Amino acid sequence: MKETIQNANFPRDAEGHVYHLHVKTGQVANRILTVGDHVRARAIAQHLDQVYFEHSSQRGFLTITGSYQGTPVSIMAIGMGNPMMDFFVRETRAVVEGDIAIIRFGSCGSLTQKAGPGAVIVPQGGYCIRRNIDYFCDEPMQKNIEQQAYLISGNFAADKVMTEQLATSVSKVLAPHQLGPVLTGGLNADGCSFYSSQGRLDPQFWDDNEQVITEALALHPDTQSLEMETSMLFHLAHCSKGTIRAAGCMQVFADRVNNGFISPEMVAKLEPLVGQAVLDTLVQVKLENEMQGPNTVWA
């Protein structure tokens, strides 16, 4: 940390940069494509007409802001897991004026025979599977809190209009290449861990997770994908007092039904096309109060 930070409640430096993303107003657009992986972000940025701003923060957040077909967009790589999504959504909300549209483009595990490696899933909503650490605690502090090893939340809906546009755009770019299939209408599950809460068995740890996926599917039979950020994005959009609209899509990397994994050749074909489809969708979204003028780097 080089700068003097002001305000312990919502830390920023004297120039207004937020603490972890290290961006300020005018450096992030109202339309954002977010990924986990910096390499994926840079590859998708090849689709931009121009890049106005780029910054890689000390805490691992990459922001690339430019224009796509003349419309300002940001591509942001955030790393992995619900906490990183929380940093990204809150700090982005703090520096962007007006409504925000966010589409996450991730990779995932598949829980359905219909989606092998290379399929793309566009979920209509998502929920979280969280390890209940009190189940493993010798002295839990709250009554009955230790009963279940994993807590499976209710569903948070994606933005319906954006999700439909996204599914259409993804199908359109993949069809000429005979890639896909594209699955819609199901749910995504975020695990708080890549391992325990996603039902991966690790004999080196006490996890009691043999039934966690069966339990999740019993509560949410339409679950198609399993990853670590998209449901948190839907949850935070739901709590954003109507200012954030969110959708997501993910390429199936891990086939958890048949124990397969995507090839690097397939990723190389799929990723640029789906990235383009996400950008095509983002620039179609109708947003209220989009930033223009002196606070924007593109003004």
CA distance 235 to 252: 22
Q: Does 227 bind ligand R1P (CB under 6 A)?
A: yes
CA distance 229 to 224: 15
> What character string, x for contact with ligand R1P (CB under 6 A) and - otherwise, covers 105-124?
-xx-----------------
State the minimum distance, in angstroms, from the CB of residue 108 to ligand R1P: 6
Closest residue to ligand R1P using C-beta atoms: 36
- Give the nearer residue to ligand R1P in terms of CB position, either 194 or 298: 194
Stretch of 31-39, 56-64, 118-126, 136-144 contacting ligand R1P, by CB under 6 A: 31-39
H or E element in which residue 236 lies: helix 230-238
CA distance 168 to 146: 44
State the minimum distance, in angstroms, from the CB of residue 180 to ligand R1P: 18
Phi, psi at 273, each rounded to 5°: -70, -45
Q: Does 229 bind ligand R1P (CB under 6 A)?
A: yes
Q: Does 35 bind ligand R1P (CB under 6 A)?
A: yes
Q: Does 80 bind ligand R1P (CB under 6 A)?
A: yes
- 3 state SS for 134-155: HHHCCCCCCCCCCCCCEEECCC
Stretch of 24-32, 152-160, 223-231, 276-284 contacting ligand R1P, by CB under 6 A: 223-231
Stretch of 32-40, 88-96, 214-222, 266-274 contacting ligand R1P, by CB under 6 A: 32-40
The set of residues, in sequence order, having a beta carbon less than 8 Å from that of 168 and lying 6+ positions away, is none
Residues written for the chain: 299
> What character string, x for contact with ligand R1P (CB under 6 A) and - otherwise, covers 183-212?
-----------x------------------
Out of 152, 228, 274, 278, name the contact with ligand R1P by CB under 6 A: 228
Q: How far is CA 228 from the centre of its chain?
A: 8
Residue 297 neighbours by CB distance under 10 Å: 16
Structure tokens, 180: 């896909």
Q: Does 271 bind ligand R1P (CB under 6 A)?
A: no
**Longest Cα pair distance anywhere in the chain, in angstroms?**
58
State the minimum distance, in angstroms, from the CB of residue 228 to ligand R1P: 3
- Give the nearer residue to ligand R1P in terms of CB position, either 35 or 76: 35
CA distance 246 to 92: 13
Question: What residue has token string 């080089």?
Answer: 2
Name the site residues for ligand R1P (rule: CB under 6 A): 35-37, 80, 106-107, 194, 227-229
